[in-house]
Amino acid sequence: MELYIKHISKQFKDLTAVNDITLQITPGVWGLLGANGAGKTTLMRMIAGIMKPTSGQILYDGIPIHELKESFRDVFGYLPQEFGFYPEFTVKDYLEYIAVLKGLTPKDSKRKINELLEQMTLSHVKNKKITKLSGGMKRRVGIAQALLNEPEVLILDEPTSGLDPGERVRFRNLLSEFAHDRIVLISTHIVSDVEYIATQNAVMKEGKLLAKGTTEELVKLVEGKVWSARIPMNRLPEYEQKLQIVNIRNEDNGQIAIRYLAGRPFTEDSLPVSPHLEDLYLWLFPTDTVSKKTFSGKND
C-alpha cells in the first residue's frame, strides 16, 4: 500500500500554494505540520481528490487517483477542516446518509454506525440534532463519518480542534490502532497530536516541503539549540525582545525559569535541554515578529 505524491504543485493566480511536493507515503500515521497558510489543506484536498493539481500526479499503488473511479470512495476517507451537514439531521441520520453515499449495505451500515458511536462516545447523543452538539462532539461526528467505510487512506484536516485533552488522547489511540495497516495523514498545528504517534512527519512552509522524518530525526535538527535559564522577572520583556522564548515558569524570589531557542547560550547559566518536536516547530515558525537574528544564531 503506497500513496505516491509526485511533484505536486497548486497555483492560485500568482500564489503557489503547494510547490513541487514529493512524498512516498506508506502505512502508519503521517503528521503534516505547518503554520497557517503553509499549504496543508490545499495538499490534502488534492490527495482527497476534490481539487485538481496544477501539475504533478498522485498515485495509489501505482494508479493515478483520478483513474480509480468507483473504487476511490472505498479507498479514501476525508475529514475536511469544516464539514457540512443538513441542520435537521440527527447524528444517526447523518451517519446513515453518509453510509449510503459510501455504498455500505444496510447491515454493514448498522453495525459500523453502532461501533463508531460507541468508539467516539456519541451513543448518548445519537438522536440529537448535530446543530445542538458542542464543538468537540461535532468534530467527533466528523471523524466517525470519515471512518465509516474503513478507508485504506484516511485524510484528516485538523481533526482535533475543539476536542478536550481526554478526547484527544482517545482519538490518538484510536488512530494509532487504525493506522496499523492503513495510511493516516493528519494535518495539525497541535504538535502533541502527532509527536508520539507519527510514523513520519512532513513539515510544510510556504507551499514547500521543509523537512521530513520520524519525530526522533526531526528533533535532531534543533539539538543544541534549546536552552533553559533562570532570569529576574523584571527583565523578561528585554529577553522576550531578543530571544525566542518557548516556555516561562514562575519561581520563587522574583526569578523565572525560561526555555528558549537559540544557536548559542544567551546567559552564562543557560543549560542545554533535550528538544521536543514543538521546539523544532517553533524554530521553523517563530511566534512573533521581533528580529532575533542577533542571538538566534540562525545566520551563523
**Interface positions with ligand ATP (CB under 6 A):** 12, 15, 17, 34, 36-42
Give the nearer residue to ligand ATP in terms of CB position, either 155 or 262: 155
Give the nearer residue to ligand ATP in terms of CB position, either 15 or 290: 15
Looking at the DSSP assignment, which residues form a beta bridge with residue 64? Answer: 59
* Nearest distance, CB of residue 277 and ligand ATP, angstroms: 17
d(CA 218, CA 216): 6
* Nearest distance, CB of residue 272 and ligand ATP, angstroms: 31
Give the nearer residue to ligand ATP in terms of CB position, either 36 or 105: 36
* Nearest distance, CB of residue 239 and ligand ATP, angstroms: 29
Give the nearer residue to ligand ATP in terms of CB position, either 27 or 286: 286
Spatial contact of 204 and 34, defined as CB atoms under 8 Å apart: yes
* Nearest distance, CB of residue 15 and ligand ATP, angstroms: 6
Task: Describe the crossing of helices 106-119 and 135-147 by its angle, rounded to 10 degrees.
Answer: 140
- Residue nearest ligand ATP (C-beta atom): 41
Give the nearer residue to ligand ATP in terms of CB position, either 119 or 188: 188
Spatial CA neighbour of 35 closest among 224, 288, 219, 225: 288
User: Strands (DSSP E) along the chain, which ranges?
Assistant: 3-12, 15-25, 28-33, 55-60, 63-64, 76-79, 153-157, 183-188, 200-205, 208-213, 226-232, 244-250, 255-261, 271-272
* Nearest distance, CB of residue 36 and ligand ATP, angstroms: 4
